[in-house]
Structure 1
Amino acid sequence: MADISTTLAVRDVKSLDPKGGDTFASVLLIKRLAERPTKTGNSFLAVELGDKTGSFTVNCFSDNPAFEFFKGLKEGAIVRIEAKVDYYQNRLSPRLLRAEQISADQLAGSPLMANLVETAPEDADALWKEFEGHIAAIGHTEMRATVQAVFDEIGAQFRIAPAAVAMHHAYRHGLLEHTCHMARAARALLPLYPEVDADLALAGVLVHDTGKVIEYQGDLVTSKSRKGILQGHVVLGYQLVRKAGLKAKLNPDLLERLEHIVLSHQGELEWGAAVIAATPEAVFVAKIDDLDAKMGMVQKLLRQAGDSDEFSDRHLGLNAQLLLTKPQK
């Protein structure tokens, strides 16, 4: 195996001179692997490689020896690459020189392994303690018991799960972080909207994304499970909440309203909602969910920005490039 002691993280690669043609080595995860046709009818592989500081895509055409190498691997594999800095349409797209697979055992005890897996920037234990406090803050006895029953069943998975495959809070403990952020926002905003039932809204925030512990799978790289593909987290979360609500003997009206929050929290049908939010609490939760998802995208782009970067690449979720520099006061 080649030397892995002198490698660059993705953030460092993006700081290299884009016009200098610098060569570099990196140890990275295969995050996405897709075979696509060229205009001439041949094939190429679009390989997204990344670590916790960011990612980039390299294209391997069928006449490149790396084509067969990557075609024989799966998402989640670890590779060491040597490449030359290059850009395509203002996006980093290095020209691959060499690549080899590395096993997790070969990286055991190395800081490179820790650098591969992105985790929430906040302490996970502190987040979980805070989360338990949000459950305790639900005043309605059966509503609180319903939420508690959900997390008695899935709590261990929920604590480590990502909130998405790629779009927002897409890292270990990301779902816990996203939900705690939503709970903070909800409890700060509830006094402004007395029409919203506080217990129902807070319960809805805490359980809205619980189906994601079933929808997603994977250790180093997240992908959708069979149930995630066939049912989706909205339906899976509804099933968890209904089961818990019946167990806690939550009255039918409140259970239906809590289920509705889960079914509608995605905001729009084209975004994956089963129905459009139609209660004060469901509208409230859907908007806070969208706010924290968008701000999670912003926070990650700012964390991964290089010192000299003025704008990010265009982010699909924001539909824009983000200005990365701080306001001058």
Structure 2
Amino acid sequence: MADLPLLPVSDLKQFSTADHSREFASLLVVKRLNPKTASNGNPFLSIELGDSGGSFTCTIFGDSPAFVALKEAGEGGVVRFEGKVDFYQDRFSPRATRVVVVTEEEMAALPDAIENLVETAPENAEELWTEFNEFIDEIKHDELRMTVRSVFEDIGGSFRWTPAAVAMHHAYRHGLLEHTIHMARACHALLPLYPQIDADLAMSGILVHDTGKVIEYEGSLASKRSRRGILQGHVVLGYQLVRKAGLKAKLDADRLERLEHIVLSHQGEPAWGAAVWAATPEAVFVSMIDNLDAKMGMVQRLLRQSDGSSDFTERHMGLNSPLLTKPIADSE
């Protein structure tokens, strides 16, 4: 199988049941790796592998030669995956025959390897960053604007490439920047409908709401939660960043408390990770826009990855449903 060409995930997902047991090889990132134990006591791995064009999941049992290699690679590692086409519940879920860990030196020798492995936001990152700074400049309240600026001076350039999630929405390089810009655009469009909302406070809350994710996530090829991310979470980490910046900028106590509340409540519900329910007009507003763009980010990504071979995608956990991707027919 050593002579097989390396196929991207987009090509793998073109396989059908007619290709059952067909051999293939791919260069992939280990996106998620969950060690588990079967009812008979035997260990196995539930893994997600992918590249810039998508991902798939499969199960690796403890007696497979691939088991040790994948544990060695770990989340964020790069592997040459050789396997045979198989399906589970109508999803592409191959059987691994051989897995080899790819070192950084070997990666450097492969042309365009990083670009092919790492999914990036479809919009130009430099243009997004320019637009982001324009949104900050539009905040009229001096201390609020200074608070927002101070947060981004504190966290540095990592905000520009951090994903917005590990798996759910905008889960790719520059995804956090893209998600925040989309929310700011929606804020601009919706503010005229709700004159009761303090525009500066709402925009400030949107720009800083997810900044804790810069600390929560780590990894260059695949994201995973850091120690602080696991122990505190991005909501608390973001609150800490905002409070520090607000005190430094001498933001008045009332606005600082309201800005902190936006960060603490933006996840919508405690069951979804919010520290508290949204209890100010601006917090409700920001929380709804966050949920809107998170869901539409999932939709946009599924549409981008659709190859047109099926009317529906596989079930998406965040949408709790498959997505109809077939375009609307032109009117006659």
Task: Work out whether the TM-score is over 0.5.
Answer: yes
2:236 match: 235
> Are residues 1:301 and 2:302 paired?
yes
Give the superposition deviation at 1:246: 1.0
1:17 match: 16
- In 2: Cα distance, 1:126 partner to 1:177 partner: 10
**1:142-153 matches, cutoff 5 A:** 142-153=143-154
SS in 1 for 2:73: coil
- In 1: Cα distance, 2:103 partner to 2:115 partner: 14
Structural RMSD (CA): 1.5
SS in 1 for 2:205: helix
Structure 2 letter corresponding to 1:9:
P
2:92 match: 92
- In 1: Cα distance, 2:139 partner to 2:69 partner: 54
- On the 8 A contact 1:104/1:113 being kept in 2, the answer is no
- Residues 23-57 of structure 1: CA distance to partner in whole angstroms, max 9, x if unpaired? 21110011111222223332222221111111112
Scaled by the length of structure 2, what TM-score is found?
A: 0.95
> Are residues 1:7 and 2:1 paired?
no
- On the 8 A contact 2:84/2:96 being kept in 1, the answer is yes
Scaled by the length of structure 1, what TM-score is found?
A: 0.96
2:107 match: 107
- In 2: Cα distance, 1:71 partner to 1:160 partner: 27
- In 2: Cα distance, 1:207 partner to 1:2 partner: 48
Stretch of structure 1 that moved more, 104-113 or 79-88: 104-113
- In 2: Cα distance, 1:247 partner to 1:72 partner: 45
- In 2: Cα distance, 1:227 partner to 1:40 partner: 35
- On the 8 A contact 1:29/1:116 being kept in 2, the answer is yes
Structure 2 letter corresponding to 1:65:
P
SS in 2 for 1:150: helix
Distance 1:306 1:140, change over 3 A: same
SS in 1 for 2:168: coil
SS in 2 for 1:196: coil
Give the superposition deviation at 1:219: 0.8
Distance 1:280 1:205, change over 3 A: same
Structure 2 letter corresponding to 1:313:
E
* Gaps in structure 2 of 5+ consecutive residues: none
**1:17-96 matches, cutoff 5 A:** 17-21=16-20, 22-96=22-96
> Are residues 1:219 and 2:220 paired?
yes
- On the 8 A contact 1:11/1:305 being kept in 2, the answer is no
Structure 2 letter corresponding to 1:192:
L
* Gaps in structure 1 of 5+ consecutive residues: none
Structure 2 letter corresponding to 1:259:
E
- In 1: Cα distance, 2:158 partner to 2:71 partner: 31
2:141 match: 140
Give the superposition deviation at 1:249: 1.1
- In 1: Cα distance, 2:52 partner to 2:75 partner: 16
1:194 match: 195
Give the superposition deviation at 1:3: 5.3
1:312 match: 313
- In 2: Cα distance, 1:44 partner to 1:211 partner: 33
- Residues 75-112 of structure 1: CA distance to partner in whole angstroms, max 9, x if unpaired? 11111122111111111111112221112321325123
Structure 2 letter corresponding to 1:205:
I
- In 1: Cα distance, 2:23 partner to 2:307 partner: 18
- Residues 117-140 of structure 1: CA distance to partner in whole angstroms, max 9, x if unpaired? 111111110000000000011111
Structure 2 letter corresponding to 1:100:
V
- In 2: Cα distance, 1:113 partner to 1:195 partner: 47
**1:150-189 matches, cutoff 5 A:** 150-189=151-190
- In 1: Cα distance, 2:228 partner to 2:38 partner: 33
Structure 2 letter corresponding to 1:10:
V
Taking only the aligned residue pairs, the percentage that are identical comes to 61
- Residues 148-172 of structure 1: CA distance to partner in whole angstroms, max 9, x if unpaired? 1111112411111111111111111
Give the superposition deviation at 1:68: 2.5
Q: Kindly report structure 1 stretches of 4+ aligned residues shifted beyond 6 Å.
A: none
> Are residues 1:203 and 2:236 paired?
no
> Are residues 1:246 and 2:247 paired?
yes
- In 1: Cα distance, 2:316 partner to 2:162 partner: 23
- On the 8 A contact 1:37/1:44 being kept in 2, the answer is yes
